[in-house]
Chains A and B, each alone.
Chain A
Amino acid sequence: MEVIRSQKRTPSNDTVSNPKIPLYLTARPMEVRLEEFERFAVDRLRVLKGISDGLARGRNPKEMDDLVDTLWKEHMRDPDASVMSNKDIISHFVLRLVYCRSDELKKWFLNMETALFRHRFRLQNFEAQVLCSFFSFMMCLVIKMILSSCSQRAIVGEFGLPYKAVTGAELEIFDYLHGLKERLGQVVRSLGQNSPTATVFNDLIHYSFACYKKVPFEEVPDLVAGRRVLIQKGYFSFDNSDSFHFSYQLVSLVVTQFRSHISKALILTKRRERENDRLTPIVEALSTSYLGPDYSQVRIVHLKFVMYIHRYGSIEVVNFPPQSTEYAEISLKDIDQVAKSSFPLCMRHLFEKVREDHLLKQGGRMQLGLFLKAVGVKLDDALAFWRAEFTWKVGSERFDKEYAYGIRHNYGKEGKSTDYTPYACQKIISSAPGSGDHHGCPYRHFREHEEDVRKETS
């Protein structure tokens, strides 16, 4: 294996020819200089924030692969391979210290690290594809199998995933290999991937059915959610003999494990964190320093402002109102005018619907209500606003009974008393408005843009 790998290594030290993506399971004892401590972490943070920006703009997986590749090369590359790998590991663990400190930070870090891992893992497979195109078709297959199976299998093995090998007899119960292969082919076709290597890989499946493994559906929630796998009696058939079509299933499986591991690690880090005079100021500064487009982490100290990323990349900063007061507020009498001039499209749509229908379903109430709170509408004003609108339809008593509690809950005056933050673009984009709803992102969910959205994602 070693021999083949070094022969194929390309001169430029690409991130992905470094076959090992660290899993950050344990931290080796290492000596780190203090300046490096901060510099490595800042560089990695730039990568993560770049990923966050890319996701918020709705980039498709292939674009994200390219973005991650670019970001990694820009910030994390080093001529010395061992330094590069140290930087990778050190920066990850430093950021764990920084981002374990609150639930919000944890969630962001987890999402970004998982995305980073997912795209690096995918890139590894694709690099192998590019290499193969220089050789004859059969040679490709052999090399590809070895290259990606040794690196991907190594990672899979490290996680110790619960596999259940399918016996020949069980396969017979599974409608015979023929029928199963056909149905797997259906899944593949339903995903619209028409690779010219499909026939070859179908034969691979045929001849290597010994590699079939049964995985319980609970291990791959995102594949189930997207209907990207065939599941039978609670298990899905997964072929790890390196068929291109199934490698992304492997990605999903591994990424889920990675995510759950990092999540647990963050919780442990928080518990064991010890204050250290040298590190504390650096660590604290990292989580609040401005390192690129970042809207969710800014601690709102003096001036409240909200930014929304519009579909074509322009950024709208809504500043309420441009005065030098400590906390910016909107009063009810201004709200119509402010809505027309400054609200982002999704909120404006919701606001207009409230004025029009005098009612709003739960999703819309949450999205608009939290937004109003963030831009400075006080609790009493908010109650007055919603009451004025809803009592057209439901009457004052019902309003008090059914809706007032929810509004006060948003402001943290009921129940758990959490100060809820407004929904970020990403959350709104990925929400699921159903019948009768008006929330969601207009660029994603509403009719006129359907064509464009479909073109982008298909």
Chain B
Amino acid sequence: PPAHSHSDWIGPPDRHSNLRPVIFYVPPEESALERRLREARQEAQASNQRFWARHNRAFRQEKEEFIYSRLKAKGLEMRDESGHKATLNAEEMADFYKDFLSKNFKKHLQYNRDWYKHNFRITFLMGQVALVRALRWLRWRKKNVEQ
């Protein structure tokens, strides 16, 4: 993002976590409230990034392992004659999906709780910041009108 910009910038989805990273703009006269908001957003972003990158990586890995083991059981190689990757059909993959979901259930519950907490806190802080800014603007306008 350009140096003169006064707003946050959001980027393309991350390769591992599929989340879009945000670069936050730090205004020179940032109030304590605004700083708390920014830090909360940064923290949430980092925590989300960690969780999903790790989770997706585990998914991909376990999926490969599953396919490998199944293909082996069937006596096939990972790649067939034409060099394409051998695949399993949807029904066979279904066992893996079911397994993966149940294995990660607790992890997801915990993550849900964290995410909801982050989300509400960030939104609440955003509301406070917006309110403060609005009041400041009204006061400034009143002063201008009086002058």
Q: Do A and B come from one complex?
A: no
